[in-house]
Structure 1
Amino acid sequence: MRRQRPGTPTLEEVAALAGVGRGTVSRVINNAAGVKDSTRRAVQRAIAELGYVPNLAARSLAGRRADAVALVMTEPDWRQFGEPFFSEIVRSVGDALTDTEVQLLLTLVRTDAERRRLVEYARGGRVDGVMLMSVHAEDALPDMLAEVGLPTVLLGRRSGDEAVTYVDADNAGGARSAVAHLLGLGRRSIATITGPSDMYVAQCRLRGYREALERAGAESDAAWTAEGDFSAESGHRAMAELLSRAPEIDGVFAASDTMAAGALNALRAAGRRVPEDVAVIGFDDFPLAQHTDPKLTTVRQPLEDIGRTMVRLLLEEMEEPAVAWRHVILRTELVLRDSA
């Protein structure tokens, strides 16, 4: 017997009663493939019990779905795809999609021609939404996707004025906590190894480093800053450069764990003990941080939560496009180990 209740039943109420997600309800309504028979029956029972009547216009639109989303990596230097950050995000996004019927496509984009091809591919209805990672400041791809009306979520952002939905970590706050810890250990000549200057994530971590020094009234020196590209090789190179310019350095904040690992190798090669002579802190808390010598003190960014939040926002926008973009910033945490 159909339940009598005031108001018009919603898709969310059907999903809650059936114990499934909105997307699964939509696929059942549109008779899409890839839904288990038991799940389909549960949704149909919930529809009957609530007296839900599908919106025909929405149903027509949903019927054109590809049931696929793309995770697009826009890093121009393909060597970076070997870094742990990328594999951790791919894993977390894949895990978040496990309980859905949505297929994950992994795409690499680094040239303007590849950007245009991706937009045409998406415009052709082959994917229902896109997640972008490693986006640099001048990258037009998010705007190109927005222009064709494709739901898009960024990991990070291109600037403080980002006009596309994004999920990010509190990069400046994490950097401040790392440098404040070094200051609390009595370190006074604290250097930093930054990420690429055209990436907002690197700018935020550099800003946090500077703010921590300013708040403590600590000395700062331009010679204590060197740029890397988030790779271990660049961390080694930057650390060697810093030591040659400022041998008095007694603390280092590296803007990624992989650069911190490279810095540890450079310090060892220079005969500097960690943490006795130079304390080192990284950023990310990759598994790598527990296997360096010494184990790395680092700022943990919640990569699993970032991936899951990106997926949630994208699926919600695929179901019901947001009136305005949404910005989510997740907390970081300082994890103390042996290097500082």
Structure 2
Amino acid sequence: MRPDSSTPTLDDVARLAGVSRATASRVLNSGTTVHEDKRRAVEAAVAKLGYVPNHLARALATQRAGVVALMLPENEDRIFSDPFFSQLYHGALQGFTGSRTRVVLSVSQPGDAPDAMARYLSSGHLDGAIVASHHGWEIARQLHATGRPVVFIGDPGISGAPYVDIAQEEGVRLAVDHLVARGATRIATITGPLDMVVGRRRLEAFRDTLADHGLMPVAAVAGGFTREGGEAAAQELLAREAGFDGLFVASDLMARGALRALRRAGREVPRDLLLASFDDSVIATESDPQLTSVGNPAPELAAEASRMLRAILAGEAVDSPCILPTRISVRESA
């Protein structure tokens, strides 16, 4: 079936712009070797004619799907309860602004095979992926092993895998130094999942920073990076070591849960103990008391990961890891 005669074609665009069909095609496929006046002429012709590119034809011509995924190996409940993930998606979208690439969200589903995300990445439906919140090393290893372009947010623990992160150890040091400066000497921690590199690194940095102050950690309990996990971990801490006067919580969401457990036990922050957390998310400013928290800028991390992925897709070399600085926001909790 031939296109309707009223439907503008690429030939029509080229004719109106006064360029060859090949030049018009390069402009529409984000080619970088087209002279600026010809690019403007093609874009003006597209606007005047109302031309809509045939994305299937473009995909066949460029061997590109025109789609990348933000992959989050977490269930939907976890993703939609933590603002960190929505900020990651927003940052990824911003990072691909101005390109012809769509960003889709891929999350774990109940019953998914362990290699489901790797198979999706290898299916031909994606040009590449940005991956965050990777537990253990198996999923990260599988994705890296596909040979497809992948950039991780957070250290995946795989040699040669490109990733972007914040200065994790420095962030923990800022939090613990602040607690000590405010007078805390018996400091406990609620960690993230210890099957995640970030969970282990923050715990190690917590211990190292206390040692630099000549202090020993009172206790460490994993909280799973969830509000419920933070609440349960705080209850366990109170049962084991009720006398701690400082608490470092490895995420704002866990800190909100910990505050509930502490308040139930009659321990008020900051009257009875000081609390510092990590992420500096909207949760930090909405909590009562507001949380002293170390920044973990999700939009910036995702935007930088997008920049790296775009460079890889363009055949360019990237410097990895890319480590972003962080800072502490001092509020009511410490």
Interval containing the TM-score (normalised by the shorter chain):
0.7 to 0.9
Partner residue in 2 for 1:6 = none
Query: Aligned Cα RMSD in Å?
Result: 2.8
Residues 264/28 of structure 1: CA separation in 2 closer, same or farther (3 Å cut): farther
Once the two structures are TM-superposed, the CA of residue 321 in structure 1 deviates from its matched residue by 5.2
| Matching residue's letter, 2:211 | E
| Matching of residues 39-188 of structure 1 within 5 Å | 41-42=39-40, 63-75=62-74, 77-81=75-79, 82-109=81-108, 114=113, 116-139=115-138, 141-159=139-157, 161-188=158-185
Residues 233/317 of structure 1: CA separation in 2 closer, same or farther (3 Å cut): same
User: Which of 224, 231, 240 is 1:236 aligned to?
Assistant: 231
| Matching residue's letter, 2:155 | R
Partner residue in 2 for 1:326 = 320
| Matching residue's letter, 2:327 | E
Residues 71-126 of structure 1: CA distance to partner in whole angstroms, max 9, x if unpaired? 11112x54311212111111111122232221011111368954544444433422
Partner residue in 2 for 1:202 = 199
Once the two structures are TM-superposed, the CA of residue 239 in structure 1 deviates from its matched residue by 0.8
User: Which of 309, 320, 329 is 1:335 aligned to?
Assistant: 329
Residues 250/62 of structure 1: CA separation in 2 closer, same or farther (3 Å cut): farther
Identity %: 34
Mapped to 2, the partners of 1:60 and 1:97 lie a distance apart of 17
8 Å CA contact 2:171–2:328 kept in 1: the answer is: yes
Residues 276/39 of structure 1: CA separation in 2 closer, same or farther (3 Å cut): farther
User: Which of 178, 183, 188 is 1:191 aligned to?
Assistant: 188
Q: Which runs of 5+ in 1 are unaligned?
A: 1-25, 46-58
User: Which of 301, 306, 310 is 1:306 aligned to?
Assistant: 301
Residues 43/115 of structure 1: CA separation in 2 closer, same or farther (3 Å cut): farther
3-state SS in 1 of match to 2:290: coil
Once the two structures are TM-superposed, the CA of residue 28 in structure 1 deviates from its matched residue by 5.1
8 Å CA contact 1:300–1:335 kept in 2: the answer is: yes
8 Å CA contact 2:289–2:332 kept in 1: the answer is: yes
Residue 218 in 1 paired to residue 212 in 2?
Answer: no
Residues 278/314 of structure 1: CA separation in 2 closer, same or farther (3 Å cut): same
8 Å CA contact 1:142–1:152 kept in 2: the answer is: no
Once the two structures are TM-superposed, the CA of residue 39 in structure 1 deviates from its matched residue by 9.6
Once the two structures are TM-superposed, the CA of residue 195 in structure 1 deviates from its matched residue by 0.5
Mapped to 2, the partners of 1:29 and 1:153 lie a distance apart of 27
Mapped to 2, the partners of 1:27 and 1:78 lie a distance apart of 42
Partner residue in 2 for 1:55 = none
Residues 32/213 of structure 1: CA separation in 2 closer, same or farther (3 Å cut): same
8 Å CA contact 1:171–1:204 kept in 2: the answer is: yes
Once the two structures are TM-superposed, the CA of residue 292 in structure 1 deviates from its matched residue by 0.6
What's the TM-score, normalizing by structure 2?
A: 0.80
Residues 40/67 of structure 1: CA separation in 2 closer, same or farther (3 Å cut): farther
8 Å CA contact 1:302–1:331 kept in 2: the answer is: no
What's the TM-score, normalizing by structure 1?
A: 0.78
Residues 249/316 of structure 1: CA separation in 2 closer, same or farther (3 Å cut): same
Residues 80/168 of structure 1: CA separation in 2 closer, same or farther (3 Å cut): same
